[in-house]
C-alpha cells in the first residue's frame, strides 16, 4: 500500500493545531491529534513561502503522525522490507526511510537560515544538539556517530540503538521537516524498513529505556533547550 505526498491534501489552514506562544521570532505550534503526512507537508510549504515573503513568523511545530513510512531523497527500494504494512510517502527531505507514528514526537522546524549564519551543516549540527540536550533532561546520554545519521544511545549487552531521526529540507534558505524523537512508539513498526538505511543496530525509545515521560514533558524539554541550540 503506497501513498504519495502528491495526493491532494486538505487546505493547510485547516490542519488542527494550537499556537502555544512565541520565543523571540519563533512561534510554537502543537497539534493535539495525529496529522496526516500530506496535510503536514502542505502546511509546511505554505509556511515556508510565508517566511520567505516576510508574511509569516518562523515556527516550530510539534505533532504526531498516524503510522506511516517516509522515503527521503536517498532511499533505496530494498530498504523497504514490508511495503504493504503502512502507507509510504516519498518526500523531499534528505535521508532514507523513516517511520512516524503515535508515541513519537515530531518537531518540524521552519526558520530562515539567512538570519542564522546561512550554514546548512551547522544547522543540522544544531538540531542534533537540540535532541541531545533534550534527552539529557531525562537522564539519557544521546550521541552523534560518524557515518550514522540521527542520535544514538548505548545499551548494556546490546548494540547501540537509534532514539531520534533527523531529516531536513531547505528552500531558498528557509528550513522545513526536522526531527523525530521516540518517546513511546510501537518499536515493532520499525521492522518494515531499514531505518535511515543503517542495518545492524537497534531502535529504542525513552519508554524502552525505562524513562517515564509523557509528550508534554518532552515538549517542555524541547522548548527549554531550543534557544541554546538552534536559536530563538
Q: Which residues are catalytic?
A: 196
223 membership: H or E segment, kind and range: helix 215-229
Buried-state track 57-88, b at ≥16 Cβ within 10 A, e below 16: bbbbbbbbbebbbbbbeebeeebbeeeebbbb
Contact 5, 37 (CB under 8 A): yes
The answer for residues whose C-beta is within 8 angstroms of residue 180's C-beta and 6 or more apart is: 98, 100, 104, 105, 106, 107, 164, 165, 166
Q: Is the dihedral of CA 26, 221, 121, 73 positive or negative?
A: negative
CA distance 94 to 89: 13
The answer for residues whose C-beta is within 8 angstroms of residue 113's C-beta and 6 or more apart is: 119, 120, 123, 170, 173, 174, 175
Amino acid at each position: 500500500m503506497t501513498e504519495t505526498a502528491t495526493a491532494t491534501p486538505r487546505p493547510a489552514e485547516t490542519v488542527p493545531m494550537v499556537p502555544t506562544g512565541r520565543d523571540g521570532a519563533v512561534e510554537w505550534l502543537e497539534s493535539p491529534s495525529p496529522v496526516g503526512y500530506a496535510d503536514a507537508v502542505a502546511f509546511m510549504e505554505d509556511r515556508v513561502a510565508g517566511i520567505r515573503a516576510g508574511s509569516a513568523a518562523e515556527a516550530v511545530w510539534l505533532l504526531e503522525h498516524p503510522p506511516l513510512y517516509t522515503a527521503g531523497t536517498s532511499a533505496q527500494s530494498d530498504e523497504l522490507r514490508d511495503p504493504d504494512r503502512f502507507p509510504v510517502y516519498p518526500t523531499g527531505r534528505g535521508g532514507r526511510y523513516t517511520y512516524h507514528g503515535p508515541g513519537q514526537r515530531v518537531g518540524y522546524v521552519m526558520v530562515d537560515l539567512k538570519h542564522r549564519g546561512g550554514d546548512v551543516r551547522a544547522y543540522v549540527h544544531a538540531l542534533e544538539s537540540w535532541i541531545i540536550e533534550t534527552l539529557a533532561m531525562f537522564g539519557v546520554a544521546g550521541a552523534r556517530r560518524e557515518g550514522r545519521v540521527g542520535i544514538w544511545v548505548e545499551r548494556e549487552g546490546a548494540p547501540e540503538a537509534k532514539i531520534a531521526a533527523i531529516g531536513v529540507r531547505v528552500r531558498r534558505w528557509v528550513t522545513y521537516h526536522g526531527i523525530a524523537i521516540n518517546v513511546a512508539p510501537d518499536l515493532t513498526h520499525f521492522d518494515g524498513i531499514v531505518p535511515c538505511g543503517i542495518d545492524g543496530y537497534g531502535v529504542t525509545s525513552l519508554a524502552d529505556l525505562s524513562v517515564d515521560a509523557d509528550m508534554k514533558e518532552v515538549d517542555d524539554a524541547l522548548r527549554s533547550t531550543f534557544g541554546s541550540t538552534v536559536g530563538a
